[in-house]
Chain A
Amino acid sequence: MEFAAVVLPHLDAAYTLARYLTRNDADAQDVVQDAALRALKYFGGFRGTTASDGRAWFLAIVRNTAHTWRHQQHGGVGVTEFNEELHSDHVAPTDPVAAVDLRKAVDALPLEFREVIVLRELQGLSYKEISDVTGVPVGTVMSRLSRARKRLQEALT
């Protein structure tokens, strides 16, 4: 497969993911451009054969680039490690503004919940693909997805 055939068809998906991870259009564009550059660099290592292989592969690069971007933005300060227990269902009452707008509610989710929601609900990836993109086990994908949905439902009501 050619680089163009692997990356270009998934630019909308890449931008969507980056947009939700950075919460900002300009940064999302920077992240996708940088991810594309990285994708070029690592393209020799891409072993996929189908379009969805390419999507998961490219989205994983976008996701990692966005995480690097986030650490650079915060200079490593104030970025607390995600803790499955700490970020359970009992923290933070729903933001009243978020309740009005579902999209804002997605933006208000912790990063680790946001990415699984975007990958599943907006882009229709399978659990296995989400696991490949995020690098966390399928079981963790399932529990994060379930908790993220619970929060969004609270925002809906």
Chain B
Amino acid sequence: MIPLLQASQFPGRHSVLEPAGAQAALIKDGLWDPMFVTASVTFALVVAALLWALLRRRVGGETLEDPARQRRLGLTVSLATAVTTIVLFVFLVVDSTVGRATTATPGHSALQIRVTGHQWWWEVQYRDSLAQHWVTTANEIHIPVGRPVVVELRSTDVIHSFWPPNLSAKRDLIPGHENSLWLEADSSGEYRGQCAEYCGHQHAKMAFLVVAEPSDSFAGWLAGQRDTAATPADSLTRRGQEVFLGSACPMCHAVAGTPAGSRVGPDLTHLGSRRTLAAGTLPNTRGNLAGWIVNPQAIKPGAKMPPNALSPDDLQALLAYLETLR
């Protein structure tokens, strides 16, 4: 089952140092860069002072008890302390400026997305005044470039933490608390994020993808996601739908337009359009999907999805059906 992982090009970048949005850029340019320079210089100075003190040539007749000498030394120590304090104070001012900028609330045009953390996947919901326009997907967040996005963060089980480093800092999803953060992508691209709060067995494999795209293609994507699932067009996919509905799948998964409506696991209505499987663990290919369905425990030990013993024919039909869910 494991050759699945030889997947070719994995989508998504993730790095604090390559900001792709205002929030992350403020932190990198406004905080990290100056801090790094200051710390490096200070480190060099302290180590130099230490080495000098250690290795300096001792003059024979130094009188250590000389009060003038003690005073000079005291003055040097006080001066170093004063400089430390001033540097820290400047840093405090810089920090609160950046802090203000990153937390300033975006305008009304912000897009609202609700992300709910589950052990070990992300539920993503685009809400709308019309309930039938709500879009529910999983592990993949599409956002329009150049428009602020408010991400409402919720959890119903344990604490998770939402972190797409190129776009924004992280924020925890805490049961009983309503958190949110906002971010804005400067340029289109795929940005990887991962759960940053230890949340149990598969904390390691709880990633997501943020797909930033121009606003018209985003609008197109959103409209597509509002549709119910495609009706099976041929006998193979019809057979696949029967397998899907007749097996354990609907106990946890929903496919809009079919009787399957459970919200325990990810919504599969548009599974075929997603880039990854199992919360950013595998590229979404037919082989990977087959491996995941048959034995998820080999890929994510401890995950909530049970193994499914399907006959080869049933499996092929099911895969064909799932691939139609675009």
Partners in one complex: no
